[in-house]
Copies of this chain bind each other. A is one copy, B any other.
Amino acid sequence: MARIAGVSRATVSYVLNDTPRQTISGATRARVLDAAATLGYAPSAAARTLRTGRSDVVLCLLPDWPIGQEVGSLLTHLSTEFAAAGLTFVVHPGTPADRPGGDLWKAITPAAVLAFTGFSDAGIAALRAAGVALVVALLGPGPRPHRELQATQERIGRLQAAHLADAGHLRIGYAYPDDARVRIFAEPRLDGVRAGCAERALPEPEVHTVAVDAEAAAVAVRAWRSAGVTAVCAYNDEVALAVLAGMRDTGLDAPAGLALVGVDDLPAARLAAPALTTVTTDQRAVAAHLAATVVAAVRGGERPVLDAAAVVRLVRRAST
């Protein structure tokens, strides 16, 4: 490559990296770029990583709970955003048990790690020490600066509660998910509902755990009804569909029997009878924010602030 461009290897490196404080004549630069193009040359990431001690890979650790299409969409957008910034976005699914010594991070030496949860402060420090520029745990308890999505999830709950309060409901229920693995999502959402109720001087929401199952949901429905609840916020659309099925089994109809609002805007939400009111998140905007945060940390720069209210939106349908 350096040979056929007729320059030294160092010059090639300077040209390809636009190294500052290095002066390269236009002619030489063109020759190098030409040669690279005709040879289809791409620098070896391995060598570069070895030399600099840091790769341009952004690693996203997926938790072990079932990922739906919202997360899928978020990942796709993240990939696009990072590609635009010259970073390689890569996802590692699977349980923590699969990576015994935590050697994955040492092995990949990523520039940044995004995880939904699961980092102790010690774990974060260890990653830092291993050369990772930024570690972001999106959710979970702990100091705010690194929990980028916590406020967004709370906002979702607030929006659900506010919508039902606006419709005149005075006693609100919450359908909490059965699966313990999604608690990190459920807790902030429920906190948001609580905050929304408090804001309107409504009593605390009546929380029941609802498995994705018609009979289990029917039990909760009867409990809500006898407690005077007239509207329910569901953890997500799946749980909402279960509540809907439970109401059907109980001979009730939405919104007359119970008003119902979900989260995620699944395709199935639109097709339900009645069509499900739901809260949707602008995954593209969230992805752009996360990417900007990472890029700022890796390249240096101001970290952006996410306007949680701007990325969540209510989709009104027949169930409320």
Task: Report which A residues bind B (CB closer than 8 A).
Answer: 40, 42-47, 49-50, 55, 62, 64, 66-69, 71-73, 75-76, 78-80, 83-84, 88-95, 98-99, 101, 103-104, 106-109, 212-214, 238, 241-242, 244-245, 248, 266-268, 270-271, 273
Residues of B close to A213: CB separation below 8 A: 270-271
Contact among B50, B71, B79, B101 with A44 in the assembled complex (CB-CB below 8 Å): B50
Residues of B close to A78: CB separation below 8 A: 93
Contact among B66, B75, B273 with A69 in the assembled complex (CB-CB below 8 Å): B66
Q: What would be 13 A-B contacts, judged by CB atoms less than 8 Å apart?
A: A45-B106, A46-B47, A46-B49, A50-B50, A66-B69, A66-B73, A76-B94, A83-B94, A88-B92, A89-B93, A214-B270, A238-B268, A273-B273
Nearest Cβ in chain B — how far from A122, in angstroms? 13
Nearest Cβ in chain B — how far from A185, in angstroms? 15
Nearest Cβ in chain B — how far from A62, in angstroms? 8
* Minimum CB distance partner of A109 in chain B: B46
Docked Cα-Cα span, A136 to B151, in Å, equals: 41
Residues of B close to A90: CB separation below 8 A: 90-92
Docked Cα-Cα span, A214 to B266, in Å, equals: 14
B95/A80 in contact, CB under 8 A: yes
Of all A-B residue pairs in the complex, the 6 with the closest CB atoms, nearest first, are: A79-B94, A46-B49, A83-B98, A45-B107, A268-B268, A42-B106
B94/A89 in contact, CB under 8 A: yes
Nearest Cβ in chain B — how far from A211, in angstroms? 10
Contact among B68, B76, B88 with A107 in the assembled complex (CB-CB below 8 Å): B88
Docked Cα-Cα span, A210 to B26, in Å, equals: 57
Residues of B close to A94: CB separation below 8 A: 76, 79-80, 83, 89
Q: A42-B106, A88-B104 are in contact. Are A93 and B66 (CB under 8 A)?
A: no
A-B contacts besides A91-B93, A238-B267, 13 pairs, CB < 8 Å: A45-B46, A45-B108, A45-B109, A46-B55, A68-B68, A78-B93, A80-B94, A80-B95, A83-B98, A89-B92, A90-B90, A214-B271, A238-B268
B101/A42 in contact, CB under 8 A: yes
A271/B79 in contact, CB under 8 A: no
Residues of B close to A64: CB separation below 8 A: 76
Residues of B close to A270: CB separation below 8 A: 212-214
Contact among B68, B80, B92 with A98 in the assembled complex (CB-CB below 8 Å): B80
A66/B55 in contact, CB under 8 A: no
A79/B98 in contact, CB under 8 A: yes
Nearest Cβ in chain B — how far from A85, in angstroms? 11
Nearest Cβ in chain B — how far from A215, in angstroms? 11
Residues of B close to A103: CB separation below 8 A: 42
Nearest Cβ in chain B — how far from A273, in angstroms? 6
A267/B248 in contact, CB under 8 A: no
* Minimum CB distance partner of A107 in chain B: B45
* Minimum CB distance partner of A45 in chain B: B107
